């Protein structure tokens, strides 16, 4: 498991995780979750071939795996820098870099992906952070795969979920799946900070 942008205090508050844990358990339990989230790795490598991270790549061309190892992850992410970019960045089809539509992180092109992989002796980037209709999408000339494993995200997107399974050569297979019925709790029932959109 890697840490994503939702494993932060702000996102837990907005999207309802904090409210649900406090309602069902306690403040102490939520604080324990926060501590665990701070321990999750920002990225990891599979067989020295595939890097897995939540968001994407970086605003600098010279980032190495060693640079990522040196990031202090045991905290809330700052507004900029390697940690923030690993959690928030997204790929774009055009070469180069552009400001992110999210207001944090950046958008990076296939050339940025190719350069990062070559510099670090890797084959592929696997990331999530974006809903995909089929549960996954291959980009950057096959060097980047976005995988999203929450089907019918927020009970309204209608997307499939997917997981990737890798072999020892770094080759992968995709398993897709549909949403299944779940308990009758309305979407975002415990969310806060959405301007009353969800009845709070």
Residues 6+ apart with CB under 8 A from 173: 164, 165
Catalytic residue flag (residue 6): yes
Handedness of CA 141, 142, 144, 148 (dihedral sign): positive
Q: Which of 6, 38, 54, 182 is catalytic?
A: 6
Q: 189 near 175, Cβ under 8 Å?
A: no
Compute CA distances 128 → 2, 3, 25, 103, 187, whole Å. Answer: 10, 11, 29, 18, 21
Looking only at Cα atoms, what is the longest distance across the chain? 50
- What are all long-range contacts of 101-104, with beta carbons under 8 Å and residues at least 24 apart? 104/79, 104/80
Residues forming the active site: 6
């Amino acid at each position: 498991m890697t840490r994503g942008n939702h494993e932060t205090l702000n996102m837990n508050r907005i999207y309802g995780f904090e409210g649900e844990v406090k309602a069902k358990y306690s403040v102490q339990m939520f604080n324990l979750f926060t501590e665990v989230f701070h321990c999750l790795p920002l990225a990891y490598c599979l067989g020295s071939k595939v890097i897995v991270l939540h968001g994407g790549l970086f605003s600098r061309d010279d980032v190495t795996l060693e640079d990522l190892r040196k990031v202090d992850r045991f905290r809330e992410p700052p507004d900029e820098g390697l940690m923030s970019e690993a959690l928030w960045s997204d790929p774009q089809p055009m070469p180069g870099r552009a400001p992110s539509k999210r207001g944090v992180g950046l958008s990076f092109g296939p050339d940025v992906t190719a350069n990062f992989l070559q510099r670090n002796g890797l084959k592929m980037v696997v990331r999530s952070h974006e809903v995909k209709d089929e549960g996954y999408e291959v980009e950057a000339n096959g060097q980047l795969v976005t995988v999203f494993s929450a089907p019918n995200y927020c009970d309204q997107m209608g997307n499939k979920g997917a997981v990737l399974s890798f072999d020892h050569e770094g080759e992968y297979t995709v398993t897709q799946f549909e949403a299944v019925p779940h308990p009758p709790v309305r979407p975002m029932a415990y969310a806060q900070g959405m301007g009353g959109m969800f009845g709070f």
